[in-house]
Amino acid sequence: MRNGGRISAAISVLTDVLQRHQPVKIAVRDWGKRARYAGSKDRAWVSGLVLDALRRRNSTAHHMGHDDPRALVFGTLRFAWDWPARDIEQACYDDHGPTPLTNAERDALIMAPDPTAPIHVQGDFPEWLTPHMERVFGPDTVVEAQAMAVRADVDLRVNTLKSDAEKAALPLKSVRAVPSKLLTNAYNIPARDPTEREDSIEGIPAFSKGWVEVQDAGSQIAAAAANAKPGEQVLDYCAGGGGKTLALAAQMQGTGQIYAYDIDGKRLSALVPRLKRSGAHNVQLVHPSEGTSLEPLVGQMDLVFVDAPCTGTGTWRRKPDSKWRVKPAQLAKRMEDQRQILAEAANYVKPGGRLLYATCSFLIEEDEDRVAEFLAADTRFREGDAAEAAIASGLLTDHGAAVVRKFRGPTGSVRLTPRRAGTDGFFFALLNREA
């Protein structure tokens, strides 16, 4: 396809996303079905442009003077992809290209950025989140937010039940993975330009053999802070698709017992093939639809991992459409869920055991506030040093250790962000139950 046709496609896909509230993946897939002439490179190009337009929606709309899909696509090409204005102009004359630029669009494309724009525009986040963002990041709000408006790397965790970092090195060369700077048993694939073909990780034998799992480095570090030991009794209370369960199983070297529970049985079912591939034999699913009860586990667990449902603000780089969907009512609902889940999950921790609370949100309302409220209500628990716990797992490199120490808060919890650590936004706190 010529660029003009691809630009028209991006405008149409972005329209579906913004006006029909379709997820990007579905909107691109539906377009791909209609456009049989489009190849995989075209789909990657269109999807990359739409995702970048969503990542920088506010600043691009401010530049262009409009928030409609056409303005966002042209503005993204000019200001995020650095296309000269004349190349955009020319692409409009390709077959199936968009209608030619208007004078107003032409003028907007040659305008310099406005340094006086409000911070939610410069940082590309929803305006209502401004006080929440400033509460976390203070004067760094814009730079922190801008680091969330770029493409994300892909991180791989080497599954030590089946392989090791050295053994995995050779097969991972084919996907251009390099050793992680933060973790000893992990690799990193730097974010690709959307005009390049993506290598499929799922397509390589090392993945199907269970040697590696896709898992963001922030998520791996949060799991490391649980520091699960061989032989322990562990409850993964919000196990979902099992990213943390699998990391904990590897830490435990296949011994002891992990109970994986989630209120949503469908999500839990997704864990079954992942478990098979990983070779973890010490995981028992506690499926809500099977009427299995957690009751016998009360007061018995060495470790309870709570990967709480949250607004997911830490994943904006990967899911930029979710950035514009988060609303005050959703935040309030999540805070209520977190309150209830923490209070309930704590009952399974045995005396002397620990609870690891994690979210992929950087909002204090979902993080420190929830931990402080929990500790005030349940005086059996004290907050520990989550950074030192992560380091004690032996899974962090020297650089990873320095990063978690640097971003440890005054109470011992850790907040990682794309700017601070190059990871997704992650928060984790260690809550120790008195013996």
Ligand X SMILES: C[S@@+](CC[C@H](N)C(=O)[O-])C[C@H]1O[C@@H](n2cnc3c(N)ncnc32)[C@H](O)[C@@H]1O
Q: Which of 92, 238, 310, 360 is catalytic?
A: 360
Binding-site size for ligand X (CB under 6 A) equals 16
Whose Cβ is closer to ligand X: residue 187's or residue 426's? 426
- Residue at token pair 């667990």: 301
Q: Which of residues 15-44 bind ligand X (CB under 6 A)?
A: none
CB closer to ligand X out of 98 and 309? 309
- C-beta closer to ligand X: residue 24 or 223: 223
- CB 142 → ligand X: shortest distance, Å? 27
Q: How far is the CB of 132 from ligand X (least distance, A)?
A: 19
CB nearer to ligand X: pick between 142 and 148 = 148
CB nearer ligand X, residue 244 or residue 433:
244
Residue 74 or 237 having the CB closest to ligand X: 237
CB of 332 to ligand X, least distance (A): 15
Tokens of 77: 């090409």
Q: Which residues contact residue 372 at a Cβ distance below 8 angstroms, ignoring those fewer than 6 apart?
A: 411
Least distance in Å: CB of 239 to ligand X? 5
Query: Which is it for the CA torsion 348, 351, 353, 354, positive or negative?
Result: positive
CB atoms within 10 A of CB 104: 12
* Residues between 298 and 357 with contacts to ligand X, criterion CB under 6 A: 307, 309, 337, 341
Q: State the nearest-atom distance from the C-beta of 359 to ligand X, in Å.
A: 7
Phi, psi of 131 (to 5 degrees): -65, -30
Q: Catalytic: 360? A: yes
Minimum Å gap between C-beta 198 and ligand X is 22
**Site map for ligand X, 182-221, x if CB under 6 A?**
----------------------------------------
Residues 262-272: b if buried by 16+ CB within 10 A, e if exposed: beeeeebeebe
Smallest gap from residue 302 Cβ to ligand X (A): 18
Residues 139-168 that bind ligand X (CB under 6 A): none
307 is in an annotated binding site: yes
Site residues for ligand X, 233-272, by CB under 6 A, read 237-244, 262-264, 267
Q: Which is nearer to ligand X, 30 or 264 (CB)?
A: 264
Read off φ and ψ for residue 175, nearest 5 degrees.
-105, 15
- The CA-atom distances, in angstroms, between 110 and each of 56, 149, 212 are 18, 22, 46
Q: Say whether residue 133 binds ligand X (CB under 6 A).
A: no
Q: Which residues are catalytic?
A: 360
Binding site for ligand X (CB under 6 A): 237-244, 262-264, 267, 307, 309, 337, 341
**Residues at the annotated binding site?**
262, 307
Binding-site residue set for S-adenosyl-L-methionine: 262, 307
